[in-house]
């Protein structure tokens, strides 16, 4: 029960302080909307919120899913072959160093009008890097004795991967996935904001801006935060199931 | 020394091995010949970095010698084979598995006809032999270093290997835990016959556990000295403090010093 109550209280206190801050300074809603402005803004567009929220969610999840596939694949290549790691790593780092906001217009022009594809693509591009790096580090730092234990019994390479390398990498993988989830969200919204006809919460945010509906913009931010929290905790639950052993018991 | 292919479980015949490093060739073992009879237990001591761990890799088939041959039970070794069990200084238990599942790991790799229940029974039998009864479902992180090493020994023996290779298995343990594990080793040898080779830095350990102690020369390693250790049926730690044992330890110590100074010179 405490697990739910403590964070809940914290959220309530945060909202109250926010409301007070706006009220004390007597800010108009175009400067900063208060929590009491946000609920009506949400209610007015509640159907759009659910519809577009769903768009944002599935695009993020699909982008993330592709990022996991590609990231794990690249990580495996780099983890197992030193030569390929040396070849791919600088490319990866360079690619990751490019701010994705600058890639957004390029992708938007490359696939004009294909909003779903564009958005998924950016979500994927922004989030696969930490996964690839963590998997490759997890695999390449596997102590040789672990491999020798199985190799001395005549185990094949793939058997060593399934029995030892893969499970041993899972904690690192989930650590990276938590980072990647948040990144994928950023990617999705970057793209949605520049594609006003492309639906998604980013597009709703943009329409709030064009129509000077400031409470709507803040309501979108809150909706994004809620979606982000939800996805993050899905990853936490998956981590508990698949890599719970890595957590040391405190007692 | 005569090599008896039928009788000797481990034969190392005129083996030479050289590593290729960035600075050139590094000869680690040179013309090494030794043999261990069936159910014998030999300790190998020598200066640090003299090639002892390379020797274990050659016996297990993880490495191929540049020259010479290794035979296990009369068979020439060219690849790793399931008749070998290994334990290292690091117990390398898999954190995501319970202790019993860790011990059962080799049975998932080595071809065998045991069903799951029989595998569990086999693992349990070994665990109780080393004093880990009741710890079957614990995670490795919940066990002490000595207990983890006990579990690692069980894993090395679970598939009834003919040859047990121990690469400094007790090196990281404190002195009293180490002595406890020596007793466990004697117990295991009685209940689970195997031919063993023990790499160690501990001279007391070598004469307490092994039937024969071989001193390797400095790198490149070859056989410099060996001594047979008479064994009573029930070895006691007290036996390490008799004048006979102390003389033997002194001799071995002297030989190690010779090997060390030789390795220094070869640098």
Give the ipTM. 0.77
Q: Which residues of B touch A154 (CB under 8 A)?
A: 79-82, 109-110
Q: How far does B108 lie from chain A, in Å, by closest CA? A: 10
Q: Does A166 touch chain B (CB under 8 A)?
A: no
Q: Are B165 and B60 in contact (CB under 8 A)?
A: yes
Can you list the alpha helix ranges (DSSP code H) found in A141-165? 144-151, 157-160
β-pairing, B195-199 with B41-45?
parallel
Residue A11 domain-assigned? no
- What is the rounded CA–CA span in Å between residue A225 and residue B111? 53
Segment B22-42, tens digit of pLDDT: 888 888 888 889 989 888 999
E-state strands within A124-205: none
Total domains present in chain A:
1
Rounded CA gap, A152 and B92, in Å?
Answer: 14
What's the sign of the alpha-carbon dihedral A83, A89, A95, A100?
positive
Q: Is A23 contained in some domain?
A: no
Q: Please list the residues that pair with B164 across neighbouring strands.
A: B85, B196
- Which residues are B223's β-sheet partners? B216
Residues 6+ away with beta carbon under 8 Å from A14: none
The answer, yes or no, to whether residue B2 has pLDDT greater than 70, is: no
CB count, 10 Å around CB of B126? 23
- What would the pLDDT profile of A91-123 be if each residue is shown by its tens digit? 989 988 998 889 998 998 888 888 899 999 999
Domain assignment present for A159: yes
Instruction: Judge whether A124 and A61 are in contact, CB under 8 Å.
Output: no
What whole-number distance in Å separates Cα of residue A21 and Cα of residue A32?
Answer: 10
The mean pLDDT of chain B is 87
pLDDT exceeds 60 at position B4: no
Q: Do the chains contact at A150 and B109, CB–CB below 8 Å?
A: yes
B48-104: per-residue pLDDT in tens? 877 888 899 899 888 888 888 998 888 888 888 888 999 988 899 998 999 999 999
Residues shown for chain B: 267
Closest-CA distance of chain B to residue A81, Å? 19
Token readout for A115 is 């909003």
Separation in Å, CA B146 to CA A62, A69, A149, B142, B184: 48, 41, 19, 12, 11
Distances (CA, A) of A209 to A189, A202, B37: 14, 11, 86
d(CA A60, CA A56): 6
**Where in the sequence is the domain holding A59, given as residue range(s)?**
41-243
**pLDDT surpasses 50 at A227:** yes
d(CA B119, CA A247): 28
Name which of A145, A148, A149 to mutate to probe chain B: the one with the most chain B Cβ atoms within 10 A of its Cβ.
A149
Domain made up of B1-80+211-267: CATH architecture: 3-Layer(aba) Sandwich (3.40)
Q: Cα(B142)–Cα(B149) distance, rounded to whole angstroms?
A: 13
The span from the CA of B155 to the CA of A216, in Å, is 63
CA nearest A250 in B: which residue? B142
Whether the bond into B220 is cis, omega within 30 of 0: yes
A246: chain B residues, CB-CB within 8 Å: 95-96
- State chain A's mean pLDDT as an integer: 89
A209 at the B interface (CB within 8 A)? no
User: What is the C-alpha separation between B73 and A215, in angstroms, rounded?
Assistant: 82
- State the CATH number of the domain containing residue A166: 1.10.3720.10
* A107 falls within a domain: yes
Residue-range domain boundaries for chain B: 1-80+211-267
């Amino acid at each position: 029960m405490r697990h739910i109550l403590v964070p809940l209280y914290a959220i309530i206190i945060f909202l109250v302080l926010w409301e007070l801050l706006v009220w004390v300074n007597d800010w108009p809603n175009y400067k900063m909307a208060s929590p009491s402005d946000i609920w009506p803004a949400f209610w007015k567009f509640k159907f759009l919120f659910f519809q577009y929220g769903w768009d944002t969610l599935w695009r993020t999840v699909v982008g993330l899913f592709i990022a996991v596939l590609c990231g794990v694949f690249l990580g495996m290549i780099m983890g197992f072959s030193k030569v390929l790691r040396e070849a791919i790593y600088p490319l990866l780092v360079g690619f990751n160093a490019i701010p994705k906001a600058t890639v957004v217009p390029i992708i938007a022009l490359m696939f004009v009008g294909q909003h779903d594809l564009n958005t998924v693509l950016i979500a994927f591009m922004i989030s696969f890097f930490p996964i690839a790096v963590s998997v490759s580090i997890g695999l390449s730092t596997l102590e040789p004795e672990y491999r020798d234990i199985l190799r001395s019994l005549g185990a094949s390479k793939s058997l060593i991967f399934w029995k030892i390398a893969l499970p041993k990498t899972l904690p690192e993988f989930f650590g990276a996935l938590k980072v990647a989830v948040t990144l994928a969200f950023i990617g999705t919204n970057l793209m949605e904001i520049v594609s006003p006809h492309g639906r998604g919460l980013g597009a709703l945010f943009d329409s709030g801006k064009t129509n000077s509906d400031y409470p709507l913009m803040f309501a979108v931010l809150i909706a994004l935060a809620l979606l982000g929290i939800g996805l993050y905790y899905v990853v936490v639950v998956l981590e508990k199931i698949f890599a719970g052993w890595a957590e040391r018991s405190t007692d | 020394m005569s090599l008896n292919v039928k009788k000797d479980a481990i034969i190392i015949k005129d083996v030479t091995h050289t590593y290729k490093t960035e600075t050139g060739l590094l000869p680690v073992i040179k013309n090494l010949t030794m043999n261990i009879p069936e159910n014998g237990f030999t300790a190998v001591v020598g200066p640090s970095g003299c090639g002892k761990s390379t020797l274990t890799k050659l016996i297990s088939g993880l490495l191929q010698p540049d020259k010479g041959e290794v035979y296990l039970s009369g068979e020439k070794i060219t690849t790793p084979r399931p008749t070998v069990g290994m334990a290292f200084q690091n117990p390398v238990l898999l954190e995501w598995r319970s202790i019993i599942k860790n011990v059962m790991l080799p049975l998932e790799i080595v071809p065998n006809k045991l069903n799951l229940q029989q595998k569990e029974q086999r693992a349990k039998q070994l665990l109780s032999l080393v004093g880990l009864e009741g710890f079957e479902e614990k995670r490795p992180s919940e066990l002490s270093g000595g207990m983890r090493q006990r579990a690692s020994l069980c894993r090395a023996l679970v598939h009834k290997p003919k040859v047990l290779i121990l690469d400094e298995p007790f090196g990281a343990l404190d002195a009293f835990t180490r002595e406890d594990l020596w007793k466990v080793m004697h117990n295991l040898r009685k209940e689970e016959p195997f031919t063993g080779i023990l790499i160690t830095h501990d001279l007391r350990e070598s004469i307490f556990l092994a039937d024969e102690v071989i001193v390797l020369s400095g790198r490149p390693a070859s056989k410099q000295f060996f001594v047979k250790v008479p064994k009573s049926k029930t070895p006691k730690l007290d036996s390490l403090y008799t004048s006979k044992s102390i003389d033997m330890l002194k001799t071995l110590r002297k030989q190690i010093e010779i090997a060390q100074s030789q390795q220094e010179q070869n640098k």
